Amino acid sequence: MFIQTETTPNPATLKFLPGRSVMAEGSLEIRDGAGAARSPLAQALFSVPGVAGVFFGPDFISVTKGDAEWQHMRPAILGIIMEHFTSGAPLLVGEDTGASDTSDEFFDEAHADTVATIKELLESRIRPAVASDGGDITFRGYKDGIVYLAMKGACSGCPSSTATLKSGIQNLFRHYLPEVQSVEQI
């Protein structure tokens, strides 16, 4: 098994590509060891000194570090990922699949067409680009001309995430939807 690694715009996050599916649906961000209980792979990754976050995407795993150095962490992380996928162990245990939940979205039903267009733009143009950088972005709400988005994985806490939101995503939404005034991160 060959696992590729890629840098991301966030210097604290590396993207690991195992060459196979990681999450069948949605994505999952685990920010600490306590949240890793539902994933044997996340538990093993958090056992590496310096691991501060784990993100599972469709075909990649992003690992965020704290104060440790990548040259010390990378070999251990590669070994853990390889062992997990060659063992055939499940990514998640229990009934929670980690798929995205839309129950916490908020918007006025009068704006359903605008929200549908926002979601279409997210799926077709924005999420693939964000995934290539080791993260994910999801719709959370729309109110008073403001689109609320949640950034995960490498994008969460990335120094360039504000520029991505304001210069890239906000301009794209304004181009297709003049009623959008701004984009905010939740």
**CA 118 → CA 28, 105, 139, 140, distances in Å?**
22, 13, 8, 11
- Interval 81-109: pLDDT, tens: 999 999 999 999 975 545 555 668 999 99
C-alpha 31/C-alpha 55 separation (Å) is 8
Query: What contacts 140, CB < 8 A, 6 or more positions away?
Result: 104, 105, 106, 148, 149, 150, 186
By residue range, what is the domain housing residue 33?
4-87
Query: Does residue 10 sit within a domain?
Result: yes
pTM: 0.79
Pair of tokens at residue 59: 């075909």
Are residues 22 and 64 part of one domain? yes
What are the tens digits of pLDDT across the range 126-138? 888 888 888 888 8
In a domain, 96, yes or no: no
Please name every residue paired with 147 in a beta bridge, in sequence order, or none if there are none. Answer: 142, 183
The answer to whether residue 154 sits within a structural domain is yes
From CA 153, how far away is CA 47, in angstroms rounded?
19
Count of domains forming the chain: 2
